[in-house]
A = this chain, B = another copy of it.
Amino acid sequence: MLNAAITGIGDTPVGRVPGSTATSLNADAALAALRDAGLRPSDIDGFLCAYSITHPHLMMASVLSELLGLKPNFCAAVQAGGASAGILVMQAAALVEAGICRHVLIATGDNRLTGMGRDQAVATLANVGHPVYERPFGISVPAAYALVAQRYMHDHGTTLEDLAHVAVAHRRHAARNPLAQMRESITVEDVMASRTISSPLRLLDCCLISDGGAAIVVSARDAARDLRQPPVAVLGAGQHHTHEHIVASRSLTKFGCTQSAAQAFGQAGLKPSDIDVAGVYDSFTITLVVQLESIGFFEKGETGPAAAAGDLDLGGRLPCNTHGGLLSYAHSGASGGMFHIIEVIRQLRGQAGDRQVTDAETGFVHTDGGILSAHCSLVLGAT
């Protein structure tokens, strides 16, 4: 068990946030996390941020640290694509464990909806792989996940309807969340009828593009005790890094989440069936299906029918992405995974309101990045 606990969470409005910048979203979320924890900027001795694609910046951590009035003993930006959120928590835990910091503030945020156009978005996605070697022959992110979907459906009998049920389940969660970007009810038929982005993935199989920011505070256990909120313990954490580009892999459907989750569960002394609430990266419906089945929450091919039966809902076998996930709540770079972490913490604190999972004591979060290459899993526990 690590020495770290999460003591503060903060987020901004998501979706279309007019006038926002990457800087303002990071800062607003950070200040909200400080307020939540009951900490002042002068209490913070570690600061980490992620990255922005609307405003890439060599000194992002310093700029934000200055803006927030911090004087950290450790300050840097950490970049691991969509896996950044979990990795940032592991890094903060390591800083606490090493005695370098007592309270580490982690901020993320980007204005991807209002801050960039379609061309910049496509160019950025095309740059996730190995453009030096592979452009123009490499594949873009949605196409890579489409290949994964084709193969996974072939191997495990997952159907288009199964994927649609996953999207619908997420929208049901979002309907209970007044802050979610997309709350309008959808049906399996709506998903099936939405336009193809990269076959077999349709528009409603894909995550949103959002403005938004999210921040948390990671503290040493003994420094966490007297703060405003009940601390949430980081019981276990694991990473696994496999192939960056789908073409380099021996298998299209073996993700590193299997290993990263096994490591996190092993450290926590828990197993998937012990988990009360989960936040699992859902960049596409297929991403969630493969990961839930590879981590051991469901058998191969089982997730679609389970989603249809309400197993991912409140009161279901594994309430998952109860905020609405990347599919219906919001996705804004590293904040996307951070939203999963924050939602699980709200659940473990009993602060999830209309979408509270009864007696939630154990939580699991998984974030992944790149084209399936970087995986980070966390097991969290109420204290």
Contact = CB atoms under 8 A, between A and B. Distances in A.
Contacts of A74: 87, 90-91, 94, 239
A223 interface: no
Contact of A93 (B51, B61, B98): B98
A128 B23 contact: no
Contact of A77 (B73, B79, B95, B131): B79
Interface string A274-296: 00000000000000000000000
Nearest to A90: B74
Please tell me how many copies of the chain the complex holds: 2
A62 to B, nearest CB: 4
A81 B58 contact: yes
Interface stretch (A30-38, A241-249, A318-326, A335-343): A241-249
B238 A73 contact: yes
A373 interface: yes
Given A74-B87, A74-B239, A244 B59 contact: yes
A59 B374 contact: yes
Contacts of A47: 241
A240 interface: yes
Interface centre among A70, A99, A373 (most CB of B within 10 A): A373
Contacts of A55: 131-132
Interface in A63-104: 63, 65-66, 70-81, 84, 87, 90-91, 93-95, 97-100
Complex A-B, nearest 10 residue pairs according to Cβ-Cβ distance, in ascending order: A97-B98, A59-B370, A94-B98, A62-B373, A77-B79, A76-B80, A75-B241, A94-B94, A62-B244, A63-B244
